[in-house]
Amino acid sequence: MAADRLTVVGRAVPRLDARDKVTGAARYVSDLALPGLAHARVWRSPVPHARIIETLTERAAAAPGVLAVCAAADLPVKRLYFGPAYRDQPILAHEVIRYAGEPVVAVVADTERHAQAALALVDVRYEELPAATSAEQALAGNASLIHPEIERAGHFRDLSGLRPIPGTNVCQHYAYQRGDLAHALEDADLVVEGVYRYPALSHHALEPHCVVARVDGDGLTVWATTQHPFPVRRELADVFDLPLAAVQVVVPLIGGAFGGKCYTKTEPLAAALAARVRRPVRLALSMEENARTITRHAVSVVIKTAVTRDGTLLARECDVVLDTGAYADIGPRVATKAGYRAPGPYRIPTLRIDAKCVYTNNVPAGAYRGYGVPQVTWAGESQMDVIAERLGLDPLALRLKNLLKRGEEYVAGDTPIDGDLAEGLEQTARAVGWTAPLARGRGRGLACAMKDGGGTHSTSTAIVRINADGSVDVLAGSVEAGQGIRTALAQITAETLGVPFASVVVAAPDTSVTPYDWGTSASRSTTIMGLAVQEAARDAREQVLILAATLLDAEASMLTIRDGAIAHGDRAMTVAEVISGHYGLVGGEVTGVGSFVPGKSSGSLGGATVFWESGMGAAEVDVDRETGAIELLKYISAADVGQAINPRECAAQDEGAAMQGIGPALFEARVNDAGQLVNPGLIDYRVPAFTDLPPTLETVLIENADGPGPFGAKGVGESGTFCVAPAIGSALTQATGVRLTELPMTPERVWRALRDAERGSLPPTLK
Amino acid sequence: MKEIAMTVIVNGDKHDLTVPPHETLIECLRDRLGLLGVKKSCDVQVCGTCTVLLDDRPVSACTVLAFEARGRSVRTIEGLARGDDLHPVQEAFVEHGALQCGFCTPGMIMATVALINENPRPTADEVKHYMRGNICRCTGYKRILEAILDASRRMSGASAGNGR
Amino acid sequence: MKVEREVTIAAPRETVWDFLWDVPRLAGCIPGARDVRTIEERKTYTAVVADKVGPFKVQFPLTIEVVDVQAPERLRVRANGRDTAVDGLVKVDLDVTVTPAETGTALKVAADISVLGKLGTLGHSVIVRKGTDIVDRFAQAVRAQLEAKA
Amino acid sequence: MLRPFELSEPTSVAEASELLARHGDAARIYAGGTELILVMKEGLVHYEHLVNVKTIPGLAGVRLDAGTLRLGAATSHRARERDPLVRQHFPAVARMEADVANVRVREVGTLGGNLCFAEPHADPGTLLQVFDATARIEKKGSARTIPLEGLFVGPFETCLEGDELLTEIVVPPLPSRSAAAYLKFGFLERPSVGVAVAVTLDDGHVADARIAVGCVGPVPRRMREAEAELRGKPRTETGAALATAGRIAGRAADAITDLHGSAEYKEHLVGVLLRRAWDQALAAIDGSPRR
């Protein structure tokens, strides 16, 4: 269906959830109250690594209002350990504490106040063990094994092939090689090498994790702030040895996620406590506890590039090390993807990639918007600017020369490039005024990156129900965490069915009602769940047309639904009339089902990507030479969305992603002092605020309707985060001549680099 | 411990309550009066999701004690719309797509109402300075700024209408 | 958080080294320390350290463990304790070296102090300052004791 | 979550002072609560008894008394930020208050609360010192006035006795041909470095120079040794003196390395902010007869 004849898709209709959110009527898990609700609080380890000697809970158990005080052994579970990649994380620390902040004892009481008071009476005796609180320490020869043996969870096909390195703290080792490295290095006119560091970050979505769990009969119901209702259902089924059908996971609106609410976190603990006290239990974390639950991976990248004098990339070697913390969570997949995407969106004949996911005694690291791309792009794109400078080439020209073209292969077996990267970069450069004269002391930089979007081997199923009154229910497991997926699915349904947008309602995910969905992450939902919903809508539409054909005595193939009605000659029937006409009463419905199952292919990750999510960024900055403070004047972000289902929401996603890139570029980072998180809350951990909005923040949407998703759509959720740091970094270099290799580029780091440059000592990176 | 008897007007409705001194305003509004639109996030007065208006001035409900509302008026997000008729700031937020997850939106809107009430036609910089204490992790702030500037134009231009 | 201080004491090295083992007098040099008891000679001790930063009072029942002794030049001690009232925990790894210097003996105190739990959130800078202040006053007190005695 | 406490609402300073004396360490003055309630919620400290000073008439208010600004201890930051008298006669104070924390903290937080909580990373205590402001401290039956600088003893610690209340801050006007300026730096929620200056010109020379540095050391302090470098200098030849004064003030600020940055960098920033605040003050003097 050509874009011009679209009536609902491609239009900036208001969000379905906007009115509730602007009137305060929107309800989140943290607003849920149930009769007899009990409250849980968690005693967390102050030390990063220790052997538990004894948990002393009697005094707490006797405190007023306390219903139960549980250590690991007291939890009524069949399986204590969980995890999407490895089953390595205990619901409560068991025999060994592996990170500072790890839950060790849980208190359940009739009120939050009683639970909080009883918490102070819990004591745990432990013997401290040596802790490895950085990837370097954990890789050192003398480091103790944080997990002597690890058991694969077997939940995800792509994770069945994980390759830990026995006898080390490496829980996933991804390696890929092609071409003749020695030969390429010889042919090169220039070989550049650098080490780049990206800090650990806290997600700090504004709604902290919250779970309400209730055990009823022999089943279990959990309301959770999760992006993965179905994987959580599977994990809970394993923990309690229940059939999947007996576990119900419901996810209302979520107050921001960004990957921090992927997979299983505190759900098993809340459920186990509910099972123990036989009352519904609410476990709501504070912002500080959130920061001690999940983080973005701190990453170091050693990257070497061989290039000819005219700027043709011959070879690239990337050694990527990710600190995945005490428990793997989804770290092994992030490490694999980080490695896979490290070379960048370029035609590079010879590659050697090595990515290691390393256990440490830090807070576990998992998914975070961009999934490894911002970390490796900081390295790869910064180095492209080093090359441009050393060869005297324009950074834009150097990139355009090497960017993969539509149809070219990134890696043998993976989906050919499905977008026009050069067009995107050129539009970005134009928008920032790349060739315009620069005011004195200012600088411009740009960067581009790409990720295999849509998740790996991810599948979605959806149901579209046309009710007897013509209103439509969409049952889809996609979670609304603010990205606007419900609105997008409603637009896709209305467009495909030919019914008014206002008649479509999208249900909240509920694993006992909405069909299976792999999960809401990797920018996949609009594309993959979109295809499932589109197929379900077509299925329902065909059924209605068949019913109408008999009622109108016409050929079904001749009929179509427009604005909720079917016209045939001078006669017309509404969809409602068709359905009730068919059932001969006011009730009845037509139900369509659709699903998306990924094709089989060999690709380096054992599966071809559904689409490529490319992101481009360009920045213009000024620099206060005395304080080192970088002032971001202009940031342009380009996103190839294929076909925007809702243009305003697509641009909004990209602007929000860019702002989440500005944080770690300039000031945002976790400060880890030997395993202790020094800045857990928002007083000492700086997230971007209103005053960080640059005078110009612009998103360029590239729409060539060339995506695999409905109406040519692709995913857009993450690309805005990819390029901010390297674009600002190279703008800093153009403005001042200094180049930083470690984020964030705080004023003090810039000041030190400027001072070192003045004193003539070699700028740190050009070894 | 002596409880404090107090009368407070919340969103126009009079309430006679007795509160212990250690009860915070957010506990009173959410747990006693069921106003779940007031959101708790950072709990240290930084994020602004708990912003409510105390005698039309923006305060952090997480840290202001409930008894401080004695004899005063409190306005929360639930008190802005008139039935189905949204307040201009609410309308502007919807039209400009100035919200995504919505968790910061109630606080963001209440701070905006206070800002426009105090400074009817703020410049972009004045908006940024005033709203520095309202964190949003999803939108990147651009559309919120546009919505605030648009709402301020409408409200000062709007002779009639509910420019409350 | 690492803090290092060095003071030169006008006293011979042996006197300084012996002083380190005169537990009651050494404990007197630790600001806010009292109830120092020897559990196992030259191995484990206990003490209560009370201190305050403005209105924030803390009281840590410390267990002090001698980790390594290289007489007469190096002594490493680990102390940790929990203040249940404020749910704060302090851990101190103390590395004291005693080396001859022209005008007597160089006493170098290297402390790795971490304050954990709720107390840690009081503000990183306050803890760093408090830690530095304690190590300073300890080193000065040792010198004062020895120089007065010598 | 706050643990229970008793609240008393005295209607006079004497009554408040009596309550504080009676309850000793278990009692604490409660004004805006923007810092006290946070540390109590965090469980870092607990008081059985809070003494609300907002019910004492006369502690809130901003008055101009023959050019001297009299600030009630219980007035909010926003009151001073928006008060026409302050904006006209003490614009530097109004500008400083406008940048304290965020608008909600400014609506509720008081000057007395800010000064007496004495969190090192704060603004009012630094700027007001360059006006030679004084603090009026009262208790049952007596009162005393001290230079504001003397109020601060250490982080979170003032010289107030258990039963004393800070009731007023008195800010004398600067002489003619004078202006003050305050600049701060930092990207965390609390400022990392704060520098205040007050300059008086006479016949093209620096008749008086006052400098205060805050946030860097345990307490905000006047930097008199640095001030001496500038006094008497021709206004057009202060470049070298400012650099020296900056180094002296930077070292005297007793900086430490922490989350806000390294000691070395903070010392450098003291020098940078000093020169910029100085230039701002001179521009203000040139801009109008008296500020």
CATH second-level architecture of A32-129+203-291?
Alpha-Beta Complex (3.90)
The residues of chain D scoring below 70 in pLDDT are: 288-291
Cα separation, A365 vs A358, whole angstroms = 10
Task: Give the residues across from A43 on adjacent strands.
Answer: A105
Domains of chain D plus CATH, in order, are 6-52 (3.30.43.10), 62-171 (3.30.465.10), 178-286 (3.30.390.50)
Q: Do A671 and D272 touch (CB under 8 A)?
A: no
Q: φ, ψ for residue B112 (rounded to 5)?
A: -65, -40
* Mean pLDDT of all residues in C81-94: 79
Which amino acid, A674?
Answer: A
Angle at which helices D263-287 and D239-252 cross, to 10°: 140
Q: Do B21 and D6 touch (CB under 8 A)?
A: yes
pLDDT bracket for residue C56 (50, 70, 90)? confident
Q: What is the pLDDT of residue D44?
A: 87
pLDDT at residue C52 tops 90: no
Chain segment A92-142, per-residue pLDDT in tens: 999 999 999 999 999 999 999 999 999 989 999 999 999 999 999 999 999
Q: Do A287 and B90 touch (CB under 8 A)?
A: no
Q: What is the pLDDT of residue A454?
A: 82
Contact call for residues C145 and C9 (beta carbons, < 8 A): no
Contact call for residues A387 and A307 (beta carbons, < 8 A): yes
Q: Do C89 and A679 touch (CB under 8 A)?
A: no
A298-455+603-758: CATH topology: Aldehyde Oxidoreductase; domain 4 (3.30.365)
Cα separation, C150 vs D200, whole angstroms = 55
Those residues with Cβ within 8 angstroms of residue A567's Cβ, 6 or more apart along the chain or in another chain? none
Q: What is the pLDDT of residue A605?
A: 62
Phi-psi region of A419 (alpha: psi -120 to 50; beta: other; left: phi over 0): beta
Minimal CA separation from B148 to chain A, in Å: 12
The residues of chain A scoring below 70 in pLDDT are: 1-4, 599-607, 761-767
Cα separation, D50 vs A313, whole angstroms = 70
Q: What is the pLDDT of residue A761?
A: 63
Q: How far is CA D45 from CA A394, B63, C87, in A?
A: 59, 16, 11
Q: What is the residue-wise DSSP string for D175-212? A: PSSEEEEEEEE-SSSS-SEEEEEEEEEETTEEEEEEEE
Contact call for residues A202 and A314 (beta carbons, < 8 A): no
Q: What is the pLDDT of residue A456?
A: 75
Counting DSSP H helices and E strands in chain C, the numbers are 3, 7
Minimal CA separation from A226 to chain C, in Å: 28
Q: Is residue D260 less than 8 Å (CB to CB) from chain C?
A: yes
Residues of A in contact with B99 (CB under 8 A): 15, 18, 21-22
Q: Which helix (H) or strand (E) holds A196?
A: strand A190-198
Is it true that the peptide bond before C72 is cis, omega within 30 degrees of 0? yes
Among partner residues A123, A674, A681, which is closest to C114 by beta-carbon distance?
A674
For residue A74, give the 3-state DSSP assignment: helix
Q: Do C91 and A47 touch (CB under 8 A)?
A: yes
Q: Is residue B161 less than 8 Å (CB to CB) from chain D?
A: no
Contact call for residues D239 and D231 (beta carbons, < 8 A): no
* Total-model pTM: 0.95
All structural domains of chain B with their residue ranges: 4-79, 88-157
Which amino acid, A182?
Answer: A
Domain containing C86 equals 2-149
**Which segments of A254-360 does DSSP mark as H helices, in order?**
267-277, 287-291, 331-341
- Number of domains chain C contains: 1
Q: Which residue does chain D place closest to A624, by CA atoms?
A: D272
Minimal CA separation from D249 to chain C, in Å: 19
Q: Do A676 and C120 touch (CB under 8 A)?
A: yes
Range list for CATH 3.90.1170.50 in chain A: 32-129+203-291
Q: Which residue does chain C place closest to D156, by CA atoms?
A: C54
CATH second-level architecture of B4-79?
Roll (3.10)
Question: Which tokens go with C55?
Answer: 């209105």
B88-157: CATH topology: DNA polymerase; domain 1 (1.10.150)
Neighbours of A2 (CB within 10 A): 8
A3-26+458-596: CATH topology: Aldehyde Oxidoreductase; domain 4 (3.30.365)
pLDDT at residue B159 tops 50: no
Q: Is residue C116 less than 8 Å (CB to CB) from chain A?
A: yes
Q: What is the CATH number of the domain that holds C63?
A: 3.30.530.20
Q: Which helix (H) or strand (E) holds D138?
A: strand D134-139
Among partner residues B78, B99, B145, which is closest to A693 by beta-carbon distance?
B145
Question: Which tokens go with A156?
Answer: 């995800």
Q: How much is the ipTM here?
A: 0.94
Q: Characterize the bridge pairing of strands A313-325 and A350-359.
A: parallel
Angle A633-A635-A640 from CA coordinates, rounded to 5°: 170
Q: Which residue does chain D place closest to C132, by CA atoms?
A: D256
SS3 per residue for C27-63: HHHCCCEEEEEEEECCCEEEEEEEEEECCEEEEEEEE
Contact call for residues D121 and D191 (beta carbons, < 8 A): yes
Q: Is residue D175 less than 8 Å (CB to CB) from chain C?
A: no
Task: Give the residues across from A590 on adjacent strands.
Answer: A466
Range list for CATH 3.30.365.10 in chain A: 3-26+458-596, 298-455+603-758
Which amino acid, B20?
Answer: P
Among partner residues D5, D102, D108, which is closest to B64 by beta-carbon distance?
D108
Chain segment C5-43, per-residue pLDDT in tens: 999 998 888 888 988 888 778 888 888 888 888 889 888
Chains contacting C (3 or more CB pairs within 8 Å): A, D
